[in-house]
Amino acid sequence: MKVTLSLDRSYSEDLSIMVDALRASTTINTALQSFKSVITAESIKKAVELAEINQATLAGERDGAKIEGFDVGNSPREIKNLKGEVLVLTTTNGTRVLERMQSKVLIGSFVNARAVARIALQLADNHIEIVMAGVKGRFVLEDFLGAGEIINHLQDEELDEMAIASLMASNDKEEVDRAVKNSYSARGLRALGLEKDIEFCLKRDIYNTVPIYKEGIIKALK
Ligand code: MLT
């Protein structure tokens, strides 16, 4: 099995894993513990429309902050306390990247790295592509290190050099935690009073859930 790592864009027609460690991947995994599905929307307007049609809880952020009038932000800790049938989610990067993917699409991060790697090996034909969501097209450290955590469970496969680099970088858990906490995204979340979300997103393998995305709808595979 070939394992490659890319940023912002997906090239695979086989299987991709979208990684947005702070926070969309973590939020989606968390939401699927108490919602039957998550519907993604690229724009705020579309999210509001979809929430009305589906009588859904409306969640989302722009530049990290909760969107005015929405039920909740993109905070996994806040979403953890909610439940219902459908959660509609719009985020700055994660949901936008998902909507441009062509392959089978799973969603992973620190919180479900082991489970998502296991299911990816079952579902892919010959290529697992890990896609770092980044921030507005830019590389960010937390997605690179979150990808490395997943690749740690795929080490016996044929890794490309980006994948090898992220595996090497994510070797030391304490270093990873320190780097993510000092990252540009973490500093932004901290400035918004969302420090505890950073800790939450760094929890390892707390979920066995594997979110699978298809045509705007995310459901849990086990
Ligand atoms: C995103 O998808 O842009 C992120 O998850 C941003 C965030 O809410 O921290």
Class of domain 2-221: alpha beta
Could you write out the DSSP letters of every residue in the chain? -EEEEEES----SSEEEEE-TTTHHHHHHHHTTTEEEEEE-SSHHHHHHHHHHHT-EEEEEETTEEPTT-SB-S-HHHHTT--EEEEEEE-SSHHHHHTT--SEEEEE-GGGHHHHHHHHHHH-SSEEEEEE--BTTB--HHHHHHHHHHHGGGTTSEE-HHHHHHHHHTS-HHHHHHHHHTSHHHHHHHHTT-HHHHHHHT--S----EEEEETTEEEEE-
Beta carbon of 61 within 6 Å of any ligand 1 atom? yes
Domain boundaries, the chain: 2-221
pLDDT one digit per residue (tens) for the chain, 222 residues? 999 999 998 989 999 999 999 999 999 999 999 999 999 999 999 999 999 999 999 999 999 999 999 999 999 999 999 999 999 999 998 888 998 898 999 999 999 999 999 999 999 999 999 999 999 999 999 999 999 999 999 999 999 999 999 999 999 999 999 999 999 999 999 999 999 999 999 999 999 999 999 999 999 996
Beta carbon of 92 within 6 Å of any ligand 1 atom? yes
Beta carbon of 23 within 6 Å of any ligand 1 atom? yes
